[in-house]
Structure 1
Amino acid sequence: KNDFITSAISAKMKLLLWIAGSVQKGGKNVTQEQVNIAKSAGATDMEIHDTVLIAAAFCMFNRYVDGLATWAPEKREYYIERSKNRADEAYLTHDPANHTAI
Protein backbone atom coordinates (compact mmCIF):
# COMPACT_ATOMS: atom_id res chain seq x y z
CA LYS A 1 0.00 0.00 0.00
CA ASN A 2 2.82 2.40 0.80
CA ASP A 3 5.68 0.96 -1.24
CA PHE A 4 4.67 -0.19 -4.70
CA ILE A 5 8.30 -0.79 -5.68
CA THR A 6 8.58 -3.86 -3.45
CA SER A 7 4.95 -4.96 -3.88
CA ALA A 8 4.03 -8.19 -5.59
CA ILE A 9 2.68 -6.44 -8.70
CA SER A 10 3.87 -6.60 -12.29
CA ALA A 11 6.75 -4.52 -13.57
CA LYS A 12 4.31 -2.82 -15.95
CA MET A 13 2.05 -1.78 -13.06
CA LYS A 14 5.04 -0.48 -11.09
CA LEU A 15 6.08 1.64 -14.07
CA LEU A 16 2.55 2.98 -14.53
CA LEU A 17 2.47 3.90 -10.83
CA TRP A 18 5.83 5.64 -11.30
CA ILE A 19 4.23 7.72 -14.06
CA ALA A 20 1.22 8.42 -11.82
CA GLY A 21 3.60 9.66 -9.12
CA SER A 22 5.15 12.07 -11.59
CA VAL A 23 1.68 13.37 -12.50
CA GLN A 24 1.05 13.92 -8.80
CA LYS A 25 4.10 16.21 -8.65
CA GLY A 26 2.97 18.08 -11.77
CA GLY A 27 1.81 17.12 -15.25
CA LYS A 28 5.01 18.27 -16.89
CA ASN A 29 7.04 15.94 -14.67
CA VAL A 30 6.17 12.90 -16.80
CA THR A 31 9.15 12.26 -19.06
CA GLN A 32 9.48 10.60 -22.42
CA GLU A 33 11.93 8.22 -20.76
CA GLN A 34 9.22 7.07 -18.34
CA VAL A 35 6.82 6.51 -21.23
CA ASN A 36 9.44 4.58 -23.20
CA ILE A 37 10.35 2.38 -20.24
CA ALA A 38 6.67 1.66 -19.50
CA LYS A 39 6.12 0.75 -23.15
CA SER A 40 9.12 -1.58 -23.07
CA ALA A 41 7.43 -3.37 -20.15
CA GLY A 42 4.29 -3.85 -22.23
CA ALA A 43 2.23 -0.76 -21.37
CA THR A 44 0.07 0.42 -24.25
CA ASP A 45 -0.56 4.02 -25.24
CA MET A 46 -4.09 3.65 -23.84
CA GLU A 47 -2.82 2.35 -20.49
CA ILE A 48 -0.36 5.22 -20.20
CA HIS A 49 -3.06 7.70 -21.20
CA ASP A 50 -5.49 6.27 -18.64
CA THR A 51 -2.80 6.33 -15.95
CA VAL A 52 -2.12 10.01 -16.55
CA LEU A 53 -5.84 10.83 -16.75
CA ILE A 54 -6.75 9.00 -13.55
CA ALA A 55 -3.78 10.42 -11.60
CA ALA A 56 -4.61 13.95 -12.78
CA ALA A 57 -8.28 13.48 -11.90
CA PHE A 58 -7.44 12.35 -8.38
CA CYS A 59 -5.14 15.34 -7.93
CA MET A 60 -8.01 17.59 -9.01
CA PHE A 61 -10.48 15.84 -6.70
CA ASN A 62 -8.13 16.22 -3.73
CA ARG A 63 -7.58 19.92 -4.44
CA TYR A 64 -11.33 20.43 -4.86
CA VAL A 65 -12.12 18.77 -1.53
CA ASP A 66 -9.29 20.62 0.23
CA GLY A 67 -10.34 23.93 -1.32
CA LEU A 68 -13.85 23.53 0.07
CA ALA A 69 -12.41 22.85 3.53
CA THR A 70 -14.41 19.64 3.81
CA TRP A 71 -14.02 17.25 6.69
CA ALA A 72 -14.30 13.53 7.19
CA PRO A 73 -15.12 11.64 10.38
CA GLU A 74 -11.97 10.34 12.00
CA LYS A 75 -13.49 7.33 13.74
CA ARG A 76 -13.35 4.13 11.73
CA GLU A 77 -16.64 2.98 13.28
CA TYR A 78 -18.48 5.72 11.40
CA TYR A 79 -17.62 4.05 8.11
CA ILE A 80 -18.08 0.48 9.33
CA GLU A 81 -21.63 1.22 10.53
CA ARG A 82 -22.59 2.61 7.14
CA SER A 83 -20.80 0.12 4.92
CA LYS A 84 -23.57 -2.50 4.96
CA ASN A 85 -26.16 0.04 3.78
CA ARG A 86 -23.84 1.27 1.05
CA ALA A 87 -23.20 -2.30 -0.09
CA ASP A 88 -26.90 -3.16 -0.05
CA GLU A 89 -28.37 0.09 -1.35
CA ALA A 90 -25.52 1.89 -3.11
CA TYR A 91 -25.64 5.64 -2.47
CA LEU A 92 -29.35 6.13 -2.90
CA THR A 93 -31.99 4.97 -0.50
CA HIS A 94 -35.42 4.97 -2.10
CA ASP A 95 -38.43 6.21 -0.14
CA PRO A 96 -41.49 4.69 -1.87
CA ALA A 97 -43.81 7.09 -0.02
CA ASN A 98 -42.60 10.13 -1.90
CA HIS A 99 -40.54 8.60 -4.72
CA THR A 100 -37.42 10.54 -3.83
CA ALA A 101 -33.95 9.62 -2.79
CA ILE A 102 -33.06 10.20 0.83
Structure 2
Amino acid sequence: MRALLEIAGKVAESGLSVTEQDIAAARALGADDDTIHDTVLIASAFCMYNRYVDGLAAITPDDPAVYRMIGAHLSDNGYLPGPGE
Protein backbone atom coordinates (compact mmCIF):
# COMPACT_ATOMS: atom_id res chain seq x y z
CA MET A 1 0.00 0.00 0.00
CA ARG A 2 2.78 2.42 0.90
CA ALA A 3 4.43 2.00 -2.52
CA LEU A 4 1.10 2.63 -4.24
CA LEU A 5 0.51 5.74 -2.14
CA GLU A 6 3.97 6.95 -3.13
CA ILE A 7 2.97 6.58 -6.77
CA ALA A 8 -0.36 8.33 -6.18
CA GLY A 9 1.43 11.23 -4.46
CA LYS A 10 3.79 11.61 -7.38
CA VAL A 11 0.87 11.57 -9.82
CA ALA A 12 -0.61 14.49 -7.85
CA GLU A 13 2.60 16.44 -8.51
CA SER A 14 2.92 15.37 -12.14
CA GLY A 15 2.46 12.10 -13.95
CA LEU A 16 6.02 12.53 -15.15
CA SER A 17 7.23 12.32 -11.54
CA VAL A 18 6.52 8.58 -11.44
CA THR A 19 9.75 6.71 -12.15
CA GLU A 20 10.59 3.19 -13.21
CA GLN A 21 12.02 2.74 -9.70
CA ASP A 22 8.61 3.61 -8.21
CA ILE A 23 6.96 0.99 -10.40
CA ALA A 24 9.65 -1.59 -9.58
CA ALA A 25 9.22 -0.92 -5.84
CA ALA A 26 5.46 -1.46 -6.08
CA ARG A 27 5.95 -4.67 -8.06
CA ALA A 28 8.55 -5.92 -5.57
CA LEU A 29 5.98 -5.50 -2.80
CA GLY A 30 3.36 -7.50 -4.69
CA ALA A 31 1.46 -4.97 -6.81
CA ASP A 32 0.59 -6.21 -10.27
CA ASP A 33 0.29 -4.06 -13.39
CA ASP A 34 -3.50 -3.74 -13.07
CA THR A 35 -3.18 -2.45 -9.49
CA ILE A 36 -0.49 0.05 -10.48
CA HIS A 37 -2.59 1.15 -13.45
CA ASP A 38 -5.66 1.62 -11.24
CA THR A 39 -3.59 3.61 -8.72
CA VAL A 40 -2.43 6.02 -11.41
CA LEU A 41 -5.91 6.25 -12.92
CA ILE A 42 -7.67 6.97 -9.62
CA ALA A 43 -5.03 9.46 -8.45
CA SER A 44 -5.15 11.36 -11.72
CA ALA A 45 -8.96 11.38 -11.75
CA PHE A 46 -9.07 12.86 -8.25
CA CYS A 47 -6.55 15.51 -9.29
CA MET A 48 -8.84 16.43 -12.17
CA TYR A 49 -11.91 16.53 -9.91
CA ASN A 50 -10.12 18.74 -7.39
CA ARG A 51 -9.02 21.16 -10.10
CA TYR A 52 -12.53 21.19 -11.52
CA VAL A 53 -14.07 22.03 -8.13
CA ASP A 54 -11.41 24.67 -7.47
CA GLY A 55 -11.86 26.15 -10.96
CA LEU A 56 -15.58 26.55 -10.37
CA ALA A 57 -14.91 28.17 -6.98
CA ALA A 58 -17.32 25.62 -5.50
CA ILE A 59 -18.27 26.00 -1.88
CA THR A 60 -16.69 23.16 0.08
CA PRO A 61 -17.45 23.01 3.80
CA ASP A 62 -14.56 23.01 6.27
CA ASP A 63 -16.55 21.17 8.94
CA PRO A 64 -16.23 17.35 8.67
CA ALA A 65 -19.68 17.04 10.27
CA VAL A 66 -21.23 18.41 7.08
CA TYR A 67 -19.69 15.58 5.06
CA ARG A 68 -20.91 13.01 7.61
CA MET A 69 -24.42 14.46 7.27
CA ILE A 70 -24.23 14.32 3.47
CA GLY A 71 -22.89 10.74 3.65
CA ALA A 72 -25.71 9.68 5.96
CA HIS A 73 -28.27 11.23 3.59
CA LEU A 74 -26.74 9.41 0.61
CA SER A 75 -26.60 6.16 2.55
CA ASP A 76 -30.24 6.44 3.57
CA ASN A 77 -31.71 7.94 0.40
CA GLY A 78 -29.27 7.52 -2.45
CA TYR A 79 -29.17 10.55 -4.71
CA LEU A 80 -32.78 11.58 -4.10
CA PRO A 81 -33.15 15.25 -3.18
CA GLY A 82 -33.25 16.13 0.49
CA PRO A 83 -35.95 18.22 2.18
CA GLY A 84 -36.33 21.63 0.58
CA GLU A 85 -34.28 20.72 -2.51
Same fold (TM over 0.5): yes
> How many percent identity over aligned positions?
48
- State the one-letter code of the partner of 2:28: S
Greater relative contact order, per chain length (Cα 8 Å cut-off, separation 6+): 2
Moved more, 77-86 or 53-62: 77-86
Structure with the higher fraction of residues in helix conformation: 2
Higher Rg: 1
Task: State the Cα RMSD in Å.
Answer: 1.8
TM-score by length of 1: 0.71
**Can you give the 5+ residue segments of structure 1 that lack an aligned partner in the other structure?**
1-12, 94-101
Separation in structure 2 between the aligned mates of residue 56 and residue 82 of structure 1, nearest angstrom = 25
- Count of matched residue pairs: 82
In structure 2, the partner of 1:44 is 32
Output the TM-score relative to the length of structure 2.
0.84
**Gap regions ≥5 residues in structure 2:** none
